[in-house]
Structure 1
Amino acid sequence: MLRLTSLIAMLAAFFVGLPRVVAMPVSETGSRAPADYAIPRQLRYSFTLRNTTARPITKVEFLTLAPVPRTSHQWLEKLTATHPYRVSRDSLGNELLRFEFETLPPYASRIISITADLKMAERGTEASGGDVARFTRPERYIESSDPRVSEIARAVRDPSALRTVRQAYDWVAANVQPSDYVPDDRGALYLLEQRRGDCTEFAYLVAALSRANQVPARPMGGYMLHGNSIVGPADYHNWAEVLVDGRWLIVDAHQKSFAEHETDYVAMRIISTEPAEDAPAVGFNRYEIRTPGVDVSMN
């Protein structure tokens, strides 16, 4: 899992100069999914905000992610929340929801529930638009230019991009072991050296080996659903998407799944670990409360 670290300062930087912040109603209906997106999925998640003090707290601000509206595998048709929100979208395609409460009485609670109705594509649709080149460059935790990563990348390289990615996936699945959740991001190089890590490091290493071979790859964060699901904090997961022949493939070495069960993966975030002017704050994971005296938990 990605970690919730130093978020208040980074989120403050994120909201400076955003290109689009639009007030939204409680229920937002998007465009109808194309025919390729034929499998319905409903994702539900909720949070409890609590005033932990004996005084009223004003201007309460809470932020969380919506499912990514459009990917090769998912299409968000409708988003419903129990409270009004504002939404900001970045150039990666991520959407951040911002809830505001004028006053939260002493020791009072508010429950925010969100329901996302999606359509999933059984086979990834063709990628369109976006800066694909950004997903071929090294960045923090995706050390694709490091000689130790490059050595493994050369060993799995093939004239076919698909076989290159498959061999990178096979190498990771065979040579590193899953660990329990680790509270800090450590990156691809760490996993390569230690041969043990959680799903975040697996995603970073698959992305690094792919990028070292000039195959675009990006870590993703979200949930694995088996049908319609209510998700909690322990359900969050990371995997990689790799661009081959114009389509993003889901590559999850941690779960030993190569372009399989792709309709079970609901992306909440396309991950970049490098700051960008219009991208969500580096390190932002699932949610954040920006008001002292208010605690938040995912239900």
Structure 2
Amino acid sequence: MTTSAFKPILALIAAASLATAAWWLWWRIPEPQYSEQRHVSYRYLISNASNRATEGAKLWVIAPLASTAQQKLLNLTVDAPYELVSDSSGNQVIEIDVPLLPPYGQREVVVSAELKVELSPNRWRAEDNPAWLAPAPGIDSEHKEIVEIARGLRADDSLATIEAIEAWVAANLRASNYDATNQGALWALHQKRGDCSEFAYLAAAMARALGLPARPVDGWIVNESGVLEAAGFHTWAEVWDGKTWRILDAHSKSESVPARTYVGFRIHPADVSSLSASFTRFKFEGDLSVRMQ
């Protein structure tokens, strides 16, 4: 048999070996443990400001991530007809059929979620997504200024590097008032300020510049069960340290906030065509006005 004839066989053997190794590593990862329970709810007030009844309108809202290193969604209820849709980033979107609203009528929609959470992240399976390493809108991980600063923060191991990035961003950016427009990492670096989203994007850009997978995440900090409010909406970064996703929240560190429980609702999607890329907390269609209570 010629050498070329052996190549397909060798390729199959190599693929089988890699699959076996991946299965073995996955099997060795212990079952995630979540020690605390949280019940959260959030509400949207839907208003018909017209003198005509509205019918067939839709409302899309984010739902907690189903399963991460620090949370597990146990149950989700919505007091209106809905469908739960998942996208390629693992985000969950609740698509709500808004009931008939009379002229100038209002309707409140309540979403309730039961979760189990863990303050320290569980060991997690690796997620092979090249997008978490690549530059993206607002995450300028190949810009020379960001690369140069990031290289100076590289430490002996991934966790120490993550901590160094968090400390640098916290020390060099000033927290400013919330701005609905995310200005991105390079803007934050030049302006030396930003809200939580700019802090998260700069941290993610620095991590990616060093070859560490990173992604911004939206959600709430939930120390106890209760009602989630719009003012508490927050963005942080998650960085892969080789074993799990570590939360990097330079914005809270800059304000000397103690450790808290993070509940993720939306990983900033790499696929800009995905449903969750088209909004942050909610979006709607129809002749309505909507606000989070």
Q: Give the TM-score taking structure 2 as reference length.
A: 0.85
Match in the other structure for 1:187: 184
Structure 1 pair 154/175, CA: closer, same or farther in 2 (3 Å)? same
How large is the RMSD of aligned CA atoms in angstroms? 1.9
Which residue type is aligned with residue 259 of structure 2?
H
Match in the other structure for 1:14: none
Gaps of 5+ in 2: 1-30
**Equivalences for residues 135-284 of structure 1 within 5 A:** 135-256=132-253, 261=259, 264-272=261-269, 274-276=271-273, 279-284=274-279
Which one has a larger percent helix, Structure 1 or Structure 2? 2
1:231-256 superposed Cα distances (whole Å, 9 cap, x missing partner): 11111000011111311111100000
Q: Distance in 2 between matches of 1:242 and 1:158?
A: 15
- Aligned residue among 268, 271, 286 for 2:281: 286
1:227-286 superposed Cα distances (whole Å, 9 cap, x missing partner): 11211111100001111131111110000089x735x1111101136514xx33435100
Which residue type is aligned with residue 296 of structure 1?
V
- Aligned residue among 59, 64, 84 for 2:61: 64
1:1-41 superposed Cα distances (whole Å, 9 cap, x missing partner): xxxxxxxxxxxxxxxxxxxxxxxxxxxxxxxxx66012101
Structure 1 pair 274/189, CA: closer, same or farther in 2 (3 Å)? farther
- Aligned residue among 273, 287, 297 for 2:291: 297
The alignment of Structure 1 onto Structure 2 pairs a total of residues equal to 262
Segment drifting more, 212-221 vs 223-232: 223-232
Q: Distance in 1 between matches of 2:32 and 2:188?
A: 40
The answer to whether structure 1 residue 123 and structure 2 residue 117 are counterparts is no
* Contact in 1 for aligned 2:60/2:284 (Cα 8 Å): yes
Shift of residue 85 of structure 1? 0.5
Shift of residue 124 of structure 1? 0.9
1:63-91 superposed Cα distances (whole Å, 9 cap, x missing partner): 10110111110000001111121111012
Shift of residue 183 of structure 1? 3.0
Q: Distance in 2 between matches of 1:235 and 1:280?
A: 23
Which residue type is aligned with residue 279 of structure 2?
F
Q: Distance in 1 between matches of 2:106 and 2:234?
A: 28
Q: Give the TM-score taking structure 1 as reference length.
A: 0.83
SS at match of 2:55: strand
Q: Distance in 1 between matches of 2:98 and 2:262?
A: 32
- Aligned residue among 27, 46, 50 for 1:49: 46
Gaps of 5+ in 1: 1-33
Would you identify which runs of 4 or more consecutive aligned residues in structure 1 move more than 4 Å?
none
**Equivalences for residues 8-87 of structure 1 within 5 A:** 36-87=33-84
SS at match of 2:58: strand
- Aligned residue among 90, 95, 100 for 2:92: 95
Greater relative contact order: 1 or 2 (C-alpha under 8 angstroms, separation 6 or more)? 1
1:111-158 superposed Cα distances (whole Å, 9 cap, x missing partner): 100111000123212222543322111100000000011011111012
Q: Distance in 1 between matches of 2:83 and 2:178?
A: 32
Q: Distance in 2 between matches of 1:79 and 1:68?
A: 11
Which residue type is aligned with residue 291 of structure 1?
G
* Contact in 1 for aligned 2:131/2:270 (Cα 8 Å): no
Q: Distance in 2 between matches of 1:212 and 1:119?
A: 33
Which one has a larger percent strand, Structure 1 or Structure 2? 1
